[in-house]
Structure formats: C-alpha cells, structure tokens
Amino acid sequence: MKHQEFQLTIRTSCLFAVLILIVALVTSPEVYAQTDYDSTAAPRLLAKFLIWWLPAYLLRKRGFGGWLFFFYASLLTSILWAVVGGAIMYDSLNPALWPGRISHYLLYLASVVPGLIVGVLVWLLAVKMLFKKYRNDNNLGFLKKLLIAGVVVGFVSLVITLRIGSELFEDPSPFLDMWNTASMLVTALYFSLSRRVQMVLGDNNWDYQKFRPGA
C-alpha cells in the first residue's frame, strides 16, 4: 500500500507522553536556569505539560488534535521566544566584536545560524500547511527533512558548546542545546511515524473513524 502508516495506539500515545514529559523535566532550560536548586521548577513544568495535554486530548477527534496540536501549539507560541532570543543574539553576529578571534567567530556562527535558519523554515512551512491547499506529500516530505536537519544542526551546536562553549558564550550551558535537539528528535520521529500527520498534512483527508485504533 502507498501508506503503511504506523498506527498510534493508546499504548503508543502514552509512551510518547512519557517520553516528552521526561525530556521536559530532565532537560528543560527552565530547570537549569538557576544555579541553586528550585523545588518548584518540576511542578511548574508538570503543570505546563498537563495544560498542553488537556486540549490535545479533547481535540483528538479533530485533525489538528492529539500530538499534532502539541506541535502547532508549541510552534506558534515559540515565535515570542524566537524574537527575544534573536534580539539578544543580534549584536553577537557583528564580526567587529570578535577582533583577532575569527576562528571563534566562525564556530559561533556554525553553532547558532544553521539552527536559526532551520527553525525559521520549519515555522514557515508548518504554518503554511495550516491552509488546506498546501497540505500534500511533497510539503510534508520537505518538512520531515527539515526536522531531521534540525536534529543534525542541534547536535553540531551541542558538540561545539561542550568543546569550547566557555570561549564563545558569556554563560555557556549545553542544556539548552540538549533540550532543542531532544525536542526536534521527538518531533522528527513523530512526523515520521504518525498516521495522523500523514492523513492531515500529507493526504489532506482526515477521518477519525479510519484513524482510531482498531479501525
């Protein structure tokens, strides 16, 4: 058959939930943002997870429900963080601020620019595919490739940060790179395996009766 999609059973959905929750609790920048232990960090993250999970579950019968809702909710709310982060990073992109350190400047660019480019492309294409006329296998295939590229550039950025982060950043922390890379990896796996993603964004033909377990 053209699409031998992976059936997201209840057990598989629960596994995805546990994986995302573990990644969020263990690698979230919020947990490591402070040097002192914050006993309220984990409960706050758990509350955020439950807040996102509830509408995702309630909308599970709709095309953009379930874990696809998770993806788009995170995507659309990340634009504010991207604007703030871009504004902070803008000055560092000026080569005049790296006198006599051209190699460090190039490594800095390699650490941050590819991730920014991939992130913007993912955001633009995913938002574009909210419109029915852009939902097809070609666009979905390209989006999957972008997500895989995001994993690769995230890993490269993580390696650079671990090796010489102290020479490139005022406050080097690999946990942000770990979080971004882990999030992109989970998303790439979901887009590759999810029957919902294929039906909604690839086939443009959502039918919950065909999607539900046992159908």
Q: Where are the domains of the chain?
A: 10-211
* CA gap 84, 188 in Å, rounded: 25
Is 53 exposed, middle or buried, given 0-12, 13-18 or 19+ CB atoms closer than 10 A?
middle
* CA gap 196, 191 in Å, rounded: 9
Could you give phi then psi for residue 112, rounded to 5 degrees?
-115, -35
Q: Tell me which amino acid residue 196 is.
A: R
Closest by CA position to 82, among listed 50, 127, 38, 48? 127
Residue 38: the pLDDT is: 45
Residue 6: the pLDDT is: 39
* CA gap 134, 152 in Å, rounded: 26
In contact, 213 and 9? CB cutoff 8 Å: yes
Residue 121: the pLDDT is: 94
Residue 28: the pLDDT is: 44
* Contacts of 140 by beta carbon, 8 Å cutoff, 6+ apart: 129, 191, 197, 198, 201, 202
In contact, 69 and 59? CB cutoff 8 Å: yes
Residue 24: the pLDDT is: 46
Q: Is 99 left (phi over 0), alpha (psi -120 to 50) or beta?
A: beta
Residue 25: the pLDDT is: 44
The residue ranges of the chain whose pLDDT is under 50 are 1-9, 12-13, 16, 19-39, 41, 214-215
